[in-house]
Structure 1
Amino acid sequence: MANQTATNQTRYKVGGMDCASCATKIDTAVRRMPGIEDVSVSVAAGTMTVTHDGSGDLTAVEKKVTGLGYSVRALGRRAPFPIAANNVQERDHGHEHGPDCKQHDHHDGGPGHSGHHGAHDHSRHAEPEGLHGHDHRPMEGPWWKSAKGRLTIVVGIALVIAYGIGHLIPSYDSYIFTAAMLIGLVPIARRAIMAAFAGTPFSIEMLMTIAAVGAVVIDASEEAAAVVFLFLVGELLEGVAAGKARESIQSLTALVPKNALLEENGQTREVPAASLAVGSTILVRPGDRISADGVILAGDSAVDEAPVTGESTPVAKSEGDKVFAGTINGNAALRVRVTAAAEDNTIARVVRLVEEAQEKKAPTERFIDRFSRYYTPSVVAVAALVAILPPLVPGASWNEWVYKGLAILLIGCPCALVISTPAAIAASLSAGARRGLLMKGGAVLETLGKITAVALDKTGTLTSGKPQVTDIIAFGRNADDVLRFAAALETGSSHPLAQAILTKADDDEIDIPVANEAKALGGKGVTAVVEGLDVFLGSPKAAAERVSLPMAHARRIAGLNDEGKTVSILIVGGVLAGAIAMRDEPRPDAKAGLQALTDAGVKTVMLTGDNARTAAAIGNDLGIEVRAELMPEDKQRIVGELKREGFVVAKVGDGINDAPALAAADIGIAMGGGTDVALETADAAVLHGSVGDISAMIELSKRTMRNIHQNIAIALGLKAVFLVTTIIGVTGLWPAILADTGATVLVTINALRLLKARIS
Structure 2
Amino acid sequence: MRFDVEGMDCGSCVGKIETALARLPGVADIRLNFATQQLDVALAPGAAIGADEIVQTIERLGFGAAVRPDEAAASEAEDGAQPQPQPAPPRWWQTRRGRQVLAPSGLMGAAYAVSLLVPVAAFWIFMLAVLIGVLPFVRQAWALARAGSPFSIETLMSAAALGALLIGEAAEAAAVVWLFSVGELLESVAADRARAGIRSLASLVPSTAIRLDAQGGQRTVPAAALRVDDRVLVRPGDRVPADGVILQGASSLDESPITGESIPRAKRAGDGVFAGSVNVEGVLQVRVSRAAADNTIARIIHLVEEAQASKAPTARFIERFSRGYTPAVMALAALVMLVPPLALGGDWPTWLYRGLALLLIACPCALVLSTPAAIASGLAAGTRHGLLVKGGHALETIGRVGVVVFDKTGTLTAGVPHVTDVLPVGDLPEHEVLALCAGLESGSSHPLAHALVAHARAAGVGVPAAAHASASAGRAVHAEIAGRRLALGSPGWAAEAAVLTAGTQARIDALQREGKTVSVLLDEEHREVLGLAAWRDEPRPDAQAGVAALQALGVEALMLTGDNPRTAQAIADPLGLAYQAELLPQDKLRLIDALRGRGRVAMVGDGINDAPALAAADVGIAMGGGTDVALETADAALLQDRVADVARLVALSRATLANIHQNVVFALGLKGVFLLTTLLGVTGLWMAVLADAGATALVTLNALRLLRFKGAGVSIPPAGRPVAGRPPSAGRPAPCPAPQKLHPGG
**TM-score of the aligned structures, taking structure 1 as reference length:** 0.87
Q: Structure 1 272/38 Cα, relative in aligned 2: closer, same or farther at 3 Å? A: closer
Structure 2 residue ranges without an equivalent (≥5): 77-85, 713-746
Name the SS for the 2:416 alignment partner: strand
Select the residue among 572, 584, 588 that pairs with 1:635: 588
1:128 is aligned to none
Q: CA deviation at 1:205?
A: 0.4
Distance 1:439 1:165 in 2: 57
Superposed displacement of residue 152, structure 1:
0.9
- Which residue of structure 2 aligns with residue 94 of structure 1? none
Say which of 494, 505, 518 aligns to 1:554: 505
Using the TM superposition, give the Cα deviation of residue 514 of structure 1 relative to its aligned residue in structure 2, in angstroms.
2.9
- Alpha-carbon contact 1:185-1:209 (below 8 Å) kept: yes
Pick aligned residue for 2:480 from 529, 544, 554: 529
Q: 1:562 to 1:52 in 2, by over 3 A?
A: farther
Q: What is aligned with 2:643?
A: 691
Map 1:103-502 → 2, pairs under 5 A: 140-269=89-218, 270-393=220-343, 395-475=345-425, 476-502=427-453
For 1:366, the aligned partner's letter is: R
Letter in 2 for 1:247: A
Distance 1:149 1:362 in 2: 32
Cα deviations across residues 278-306 of structure 1 (Å, max 9, x unaligned)? Answer: 12122333443222112233444433222
1:497 maps to a residue whose letter is: L
Instruction: Say if 1:302 and 1:317, in contact at 8 Å, map to a contact too.
Output: yes
Instruction: Letter of the 2:462 partner, please give it.
Output: D
One-letter amino acid of the structure 2 residue matched with residue 389 of structure 1:
V
User: 1:489 Cα shift?
Assistant: 2.7
Tell me, yes or no, if the aligned pair for 1:435 and 1:759 is still in contact at 8 Å: no
Equivalent in 665, 670, 685 of residue 713 of structure 1:
665
Aligned equivalents of 1:58, 1:459: Cα separation in 2: 53
Distance in 1 separating the partners of 2:223 and 2:291: 9
Q: 1:705/1:72 Cα in 2 relative to 1: closer, same or farther (>3 Å)?
A: same
Q: CA deviation at 1:246?
A: 0.7
The question of 1:14 aligning with 2:18 is answered no
Provide the C-alpha distance between the structure 2 equivalents of 1:477 and 1:283, rounded to a whole number of angstroms.
Answer: 50
DSSP 3-state at the match of 2:232:
strand
Q: Which amino acid aligns with 1:422?
A: P
Q: 1:734 aligns with which of 686, 696, 705?
A: 686
Between the two proteins, the alignment pairs up a number of residues equal to: 696
Partner SS state of residue 401, structure 2: coil
Is 1:704 the counterpart of 2:697? The answer is no
CA-to-aligned-CA distance 1:675-713 (integer Å, 9 cap, x gap): 111111111111111111111111111111111111111
Moved more, 286-295 or 244-253: 286-295
Q: Which amino acid aligns with 2:451?
A: A
In 2, Cα distance between equivalents of 1:249 and 1:361: 18
**More displaced, 524-533 or 245-254?**
524-533
Contact 1:230 1:738 in 2 (8 A): yes
Give how far 1:726 is off: 1.2
Matched, 1:23 2:14: yes
Amino acid at match of 1:309: T
- CA separation in 1, counterparts of 2:481 and 2:582? 39
Shift of 1:395: 5.0
Counterpart pick for 1:576 among 529, 533, 545: 529
Deviations 1:474-507 (A, max 9, x none): 2232222222222233334321101111222232
Q: From 448, 468, 471, give the equivalent of 1:520.
A: 471
CA positional deviation for 1:393? 4.6
**Distance (Å, rounded) in 1 between the aligned partners of 2:73 and 2:598:** 41
Cα drift, residue 277 of structure 1: 0.4
Change (3 A) 1:202 1:699: same
SS in 1 for 2:238: coil
Q: Secondary structure at the match of 1:592?
A: helix
Give 2:722's aligned residue. none
By how many angstroms is 1:327 displaced? 1.6
Listed one character per residue, the Cα deviations across residues 354-398 of structure 1 (whole Å, up to 9, x for unaligned) are 111111111111111011111111111111111122122565221
**What's the counterpart of residue 66 of structure 1?**
59
Pair 1:44 & 2:35 matched? yes
Whether the 8 Å contact between 2:161 and 2:176 is mirrored in structure 1 is: yes
* Secondary structure, counterpart of 1:326 in structure 2: coil
- The one-letter code matched in structure 2 to 1:266 is Q
Letter in 1 for 2:587: D
Query: Aligned partners of 1:289, 1:326: CA distance in 2, in Å?
Result: 5
* Distance (Å, rounded) in 1 between the aligned partners of 2:493 and 2:177: 89
Cα deviations by residue, 1:120-145 (Å, 9 ceiling, x for unpaired): xxxxxxxxxxxxxxxxx999243123
When structure 1 is superposed on structure 2, of 296-305 and 423-432 the one drifting more is 296-305
Alignment partner, residue 756 of structure 1: 708
2:245 maps to amino acid: V
Matches of 1:329 and 1:506 in 2, distance apart? 28
Larger CA deviation: 236-245 vs 33-42: 33-42
Task: Determine whether 1:659 maps to 2:650.
Answer: no
Structure 1 residue 545, shift from structure 2 partner: 4.5
The answer on 1:673 being equivalent to 2:625 is yes
Instruction: Output the CA distance in 2 between the equivalents of 1:510 and 1:141.
Output: 64
Deviation, structure 1 residue 73: 4.2
Q: TM-score, length-normalised on structure 2? A: 0.89
Q: Please give the secondary structure, in 1, of the residue aligned with 2:316.
A: helix
Q: Is the 8 A contact 1:139 1:239 kept in 2?
A: no
Deviation at 1:554, TM superposition (A): 1.5
User: Residue 453 of structure 2 contacts residue 463 of structure 2 at CA under 8 Å; is this kept in 1?
Assistant: no
What percent of counterpart residues are identical? 52
- Counterparts in 2 of 1:391 and 1:34: CA distance versus 1, 3 Å: same
Distance 1:685 1:606 in 2: 18
Letter of the aligned partner of 2:579 in structure 1?
V
The offset of 1:459, in angstroms, is 0.9
Offset of residue 606 of structure 1: 1.2
Match of 2:698 in 1: 746
User: Conserved in 2, the CA contact under 8 Å of 1:670 and 1:678?
Assistant: yes
CA contact (8 A) 1:231 1:737 kept: yes
1:595 corresponds in structure 2 to 548
Per the alignment, in what secondary structure is the counterpart of residue 514 of structure 1? Answer: coil
1:489–1:285 distance in 2 versus 1, CA, 3 Å: farther
The alignment partner of 2:537 has SS state of: strand
Q: Which has the higher contact order (CA 8 A, sep 6+)?
A: 1
Change (3 A) 1:394 1:368: closer
The offset of 1:515, in angstroms, is 2.9
| Cα 1:159–1:509 shift into 2, 3 Å | farther
Correspondence 1:609 to 2:602: no
**For structure 1, which segment, 323-332 or 425-434, has the greater mean C-alpha deviation from structure 2 after superposition?**
323-332
User: Aligned partners of 1:300 and 1:570: how far apart in 2?
Assistant: 37
Rounded Cα–Cα distance in structure 1 between residues aligned with 2:542 and 2:489: 32
Q: CA deviation at 1:632?
A: 1.4
1:241 and 1:447 map into 2 onto residues whose CA distance is 27
CA contact under 8 A between 2:607 and 2:624: conserved in structure 1? no
**Amino acid in the other structure paired with 2:305:** E
What residue identity is the alignment partner of 1:65?
I
Q: What CA distance in whole angstroms lies between the structure 2 residues aligned with 1:212 and 1:513? A: 92
Residues 497 and 697 from structure 1, CA distance in 2 versus in 1: closer, same or farther, beyond 3 angstroms? same
